[in-house]
Amino acid sequence: MRVILIGAGISNALISFLLRRQYGPAIKLIVFDKDKSVGGRMTTSCDSEGNHHCFIDMGAQYLTLTKSNSTTTKLFQQLIDDHVIELLDKQNTIGMRENPDKIDYMAPRGIASVVRYFFEQAVVEINLSKHITKIDLDSTNNKCAISTNEEKLDEAEVVIVTVPVPQVLTQFKGSIAQLIDDKKEVKDKLGQVKYSSRFAVGLYYPTSIINLNIPWRIYYVDKNENDCLRYLAIDNAKRNKNEPPFSLIAHTNVDFGAKYIEADTRVIGEQIKENIFQFLPELPRDINNTKYHKWKYSQVIQSYPDTPGYVLLNEHPLLVLAGDSFAAESTFEGCIEAAIETAKKICELFN
Ligand SMILES: Cc1cc2nc3c(=O)[nH]c(=O)nc-3n(C[C@H](O)[C@H](O)[C@H](O)COP(=O)(O)OP(=O)(O)OC[C@H]3O[C@@H](n4cnc5c(N)ncnc54)[C@H](O)[C@@H]3O)c2cc1C
């Protein structure tokens, strides 16, 4: 069986991993993503203009396990045993909520290493910088064909799309758009999926800076302390590397994100950077490089109603929408649960 997965984020990494575990060598898994690297919103970005050992988790920061969740515990344990994640040290953090039923983990090689781990375990073919704009059903050969604006790229009997739903509704042409249009209830529910927005700014320091003069590793900023910033972390310290090269990540709060979402990322990024230096006057200004990112689709605030973890748009050929738009929670743990349901359904239909 050939399976095309559109989106190289954690949801498709997990679905690939689960399908490979079920089918062994009898399945070919082919991944496409519009970005230049794997990870999606679990992305790790290195200082492309300076020290490549200086990197920052620009999106998801840490992975939270619910102790009472036996399903997700197994995968967390595998990641711990294979040294992909480690306990997040909560010493020197400000404003982190404590929950006795939750444990937080960080990824020492950056959060994208978790996504890479599952894709590697699944043995997938990965095609990057491929912006898919069209998905068509071909009922004569029972396949779905995927295309960019320039060319038809591939076809398979199963296509899984884990792109955030608002982007699915605006980006894709062809049979996929027609199928959504024809299914009134599905279309209505897809229209209800909503995401928050926020900006991220990453500061990369040169190795010559041996101290950032900051006493904490993670700081959740309260609304009445600052009306722009929400989350700050000394990213290398978060990963227990309290030595140069240092890096700092800032996320804005979602009200700020919503207010400026249509504005130019660089212009707003500069404004946020100034805000960081005003909020932390002791922070050295001697930086190597700055990265700005607009997360228009950051985390789900309203998921697909009564979601089973996915939506089938067509059974033969199989075209399925999955990812965190269909998860109970817009987190790694939520993505695991939704991926398990998606993989289970695919196995049910093809067994
Ligand atoms: C700022 C921020 C902080 C977060 N913090 C945490 C946290 O601390 N802990 C936690 O557990 N979760 C956190 N999350 C949420 C978590 O990152 C997401 O729930 C998870 O990564 C979603 O994974 P996904 O694979 O479903 O989607 P994505 O990671 O969004 O993957 C979708 C992929 O599809 C690709 N794509 C989109 N359109 C196309 C197209 N037309 N053609 C080809 N490819 C396309 C995208 O490039 C992307 O790689 C955070 C998210 C953000 C943004």
How far is C-alpha 313 from the chain's CA centre?
23
Which DSSP symbol is given to 256?
Answer: H
Which atom of ligand 1 is closest in space to residue 35's alpha carbon?
Answer: 47
- Which residues on adjacent β-strands are paired with residue 102? 66
How far is C-alpha 305 from the chain's CA centre?
21
Residue 27 confidence (pLDDT): 97
Which DSSP symbol is given to 88?
Answer: P
Cα separation, 169 vs 277, in Å, equals 39
Residue 51 confidence (pLDDT): 77
Q: Which amino acid is at 29?
A: L
Residue 139 confidence (pLDDT): 81
Which atom of ligand 1 is closest in space to residue 11's alpha carbon?
Answer: 25
Which DSSP symbol is given to 177?
Answer: H
- Which residues on adjacent β-strands are paired with residue 87? 105
Fold classification of 2-59+111-192+302-350 (topology level): FAD/NAD(P)-binding domain (3.50.50)
Distance 40 CA to ligand 1 centre (A): 4
Cα separation, 233 vs 220, in Å, equals 9
The answer to whether the CB of 171 is under 6 A from ligand 1 is yes
Tokens of 62: 């840490």
Q: Is 214 left (phi over 0), alpha (psi -120 to 50) or beta?
A: beta
The answer to whether the CB of 197 falls within 8 A of the CB of 257 is: yes
The answer to whether the CB of 299 falls within 8 A of the CB of 195 is: yes
Tally of residues, the chain: 351
- Which residues on adjacent β-strands are paired with residue 146? 135, 154
CA-nearest residue, atom 10 of ligand 1: 331
Which atom of ligand 1 is closest in space to residue 58's alpha carbon?
Answer: 1
The answer to whether the CB of 40 is under 6 A from ligand 1 is yes
DSSP secondary structure of 301-317: EE-STT--S-EEEETTT
Every domain range in the chain assigned CATH 3.90.660.10: 197-295
DSSP secondary structure of 22-52: HHGGG-EEEEE-SSSSSBTTS-EEE-TTS-T
Every domain range in the chain assigned CATH 3.50.50.60: 2-59+111-192+302-350
Q: For the segment 15-71, what is each residue's pLDDT rounded down to a tens digit?
A: 999 999 999 999 999 999 999 999 999 999 998 777 778 999 999 999 999 999 999
Q: What's the angle, vertex CA 164, arms to CA 325 and CA 12, rounded to 5?
A: 85
Q: Which residue has the tokens 């209830």?
A: 185
pTM above 0.95, yes or no: yes
Cα separation, 147 vs 175, in Å, equals 12
Residue 330 confidence (pLDDT): 97
Cα separation, 271 vs 273, in Å, equals 5
3-state helix, strand, coil in the chain (%, to 5): 30, 25, 40
Residue 98 confidence (pLDDT): 87
Distance 41 CA to ligand 1 centre (A): 3
Neighbours of 290 (CB within 10 A): 17
The answer to whether the CB of 250 falls within 8 A of the CB of 293 is: no
Residue 53 confidence (pLDDT): 85
The answer to whether the CB of 330 is under 6 A from ligand 1 is yes
Strand order in the sheet with 134-138: 134-138, 143-147, 152-156
Q: Which amino acid is at 56?
A: I
Spans of the chain below 70 pLDDT: none
How far is C-alpha 89 from the chain's CA centre?
22
Q: For the segment 259-274, what is each residue's pLDDT rounded down to a tens digit?
A: 999 999 999 999 999 9
CATH architecture of 197-295: Alpha-Beta Complex (3.90)
